[in-house]
Amino acid sequence: VLEEILPASAVVSATRSDILDAELFPEEETVVDRAVDKRRREFTTARACARQALAQLGERRQAIPSGLRGAPQWPTGVVGSITHCDGYRACAVARATDFATLGIDAERNEPIPVGVLADIALPPERESLRRLMHDQPGVRWDRLLFSAKEAVYKAWYPLAGRWLGFEDALVAIDTAGTFSARLLVDGPPLGGRQLTGFEGRWLARDGLVLAATAVPATAP
Ligand SMILES: CC(C)(COP(=O)(O)OP(=O)(O)OC[C@H]1O[C@@H](n2cnc3c(N)ncnc32)[C@H](O)[C@@H]1OP(=O)(O)O)[C@@H](O)C(=O)NCCC(=O)NCCS
């Protein structure tokens, strides 16, 4: 389903079940060698998805280590992003000549835990959630807001190399399937200018909410 919300030149590999015979490279194994089974399965399956996606881009089979703050380290000339939630694991990659960065996120289409909204949503975002929940109750808009912010963070980090808090971007979600995130902090330089935000798309399907953002290499 992620293909539907990413540009056509991005390659997606996703699965709804774990790939139990997938192998890890030694530098990946160290990331999960002491992890619980659930974490090991999601990590291993998503790495298998990543290798499938890289192969479709014409890249050789190789390790995708976890770098600073957990960001996956893509081969030179490739940008990408990984997500996993219960019942879904996915990776999207693209050529760096097409995109400066990518961010994807998938979540169960379920309410976020009580109390979390105050930590992740700015007052204008909470206001718009009230309206969206009233107009279209089938989508868990609070979860979608969270997902959009996670996708933004995953796209932000490889460019900026620093933390971005939930209060540092103002996200506006459109019922037509798009969202925008306006940065409330200085963005990283990109193409001789400064990045001021992210444009993304979202989808609610088969019990999931998904969000994706792709910044063109020529942005902003
Ligand atoms: C890192 C984070 C974004 C992961 O999101 P999540 O919904 O919890 O989990 P997901 O399964 O969707 O994504 C996990 C994957 O994100 C990727 N990821 C982790 N840290 C990353 C980073 N700094 N940059 C880019 N990608 C990162 C990894 O590939 C990871 O999977 P892996 O460890 O198996 O390789 C989240 O835990 C977090 O720390 N968020 C706080 C920052 C934030 O979201 N700010 C909002 C800004 S508006």
Ligand 1 pocket check: which of 153, 209, 213 to mutate, most ligand atoms within 8 Å of Cβ? 153
Min mean pLDDT across 57-61, 98-102, 134-138, 205-209 is at: 134-138
pLDDT of residue 191: 86
Element (H, E) at 155: helix 141-160
| Residue 139 in contact with ligand 1 by CB distance below 6 A | no
Closest CA to ligand 1's atom 32:
43
Average pLDDT over residues 52-78: 97
> What's the number of CA atoms in the CB half-sphere (13 Å) around residue 41?
13
Query: Which pLDDT band holds residue 220 (cuts at 50, 70, 90)?
Result: low
Where are the alpha helices (H) located in 33-121, listed in sequence order?
37-56, 117-120
Asked if residue 58 has pLDDT above 80, the reply is: yes
Min mean pLDDT across 47-51, 75-79, 134-138 is at: 134-138
| Residue 99 in contact with ligand 1 by CB distance below 6 A | no
The Cα angle at residue 95 between residues 29 and 85, in degrees rounded to 5: 45
| Residue 46 in contact with ligand 1 by CB distance below 6 A | yes
Distance of alpha carbon 57 from alpha carbon 110, whole angstroms = 34
Asked if residue 180 has pLDDT above 70, the reply is: yes
Mean pLDDT of the chain: 96
Query: Which pLDDT band holds residue 50 (cuts at 50, 70, 90)?
Result: very high
Q: Record the tokens describing residue 30, joined without a space.
A: 């160290």
pLDDT of residue 125: 98
